């Protein structure tokens, strides 16, 4: 009888571990994943270049003002400096070599941002 009782306890323990593992797997699988949008910053044809702020504000301040004015829901953004070997021109549409990376909580927020972003260019 003790052997059956021990086998039953082990069986129940294995089932419990399996159930917890499956629950964790499906809960994590269905969680929204962060999504990152990248934009190559230009000399002066960026959407935030029209933000009514003091002209000597940093790019970060202008981007933050733009995101706030457009009511864009984002997690974080960073601006990666240009590569030392990057060659740029002075035209308004020329890239500066800097990259804006905006992180969103899910793809829907990124698509909402991208649709607003495209309208300004």
pLDDT digits (tens, 9 = 90+) for 72-116: 888 899 999 877 777 778 888 898 888 999 998 877 778 877 776
* pLDDT score of 116: 64
Q: What SS3 class is residue 1?
A: coil
Give the number of other CB atoms < 10 A from CB of residue 14. Answer: 10
Ordered by start, the domain boundaries in the chain are: 1-31, 35-120
46-81 pLDDT per residue, tens: 888 876 655 667 888 888 888 888 888 888 999 998
Give the span between the Cα atoms of 55 and 62, in whole angstroms: 9
pLDDT at 121 over 50: no
What pLDDT, in 10s, does the model give residues 6-56? 788 888 888 888 888 888 877 766 666 788 888 888 888 888 887 665 566
Residue pair 101/112 in contact by the 8 Å Cβ criterion? no
Per the CB < 8 A criterion, the answer to whether 106 and 32 are in contact is yes
Of residues 76, 65, 81, the one with CA closest to residue 35: 76
* 47 secondary structure, DSSP code: G
Q: What is the mean pLDDT of residues 2-9?
A: 74
């Amino acid at each position: 009888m003790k052997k059956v009782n021990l086998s039953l306890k082990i069986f129940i323990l294995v089932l419990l571990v399996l159930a917890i593992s499956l629950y964790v797997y499906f809960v994590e699988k269905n969680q929204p994943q962060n999504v990152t949008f990248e934009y190559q910053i230009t000399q002066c044809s960026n959407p935030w270049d029209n933000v009514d702020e003091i002209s000597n504000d940093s790019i970060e301040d202008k981007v933050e003002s733009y995101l706030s004015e457009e009511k864009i829901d984002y997690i974080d953004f960073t601006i990666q400096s240009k590569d030392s070997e990057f060659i740029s021109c002075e035209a308004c549409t020329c890239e500066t070599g800097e990259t804006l990376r905006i992180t969103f909580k899910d793809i829907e927020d990124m698509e909402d941002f991208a649709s607003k972003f495209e309208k300004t260019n």
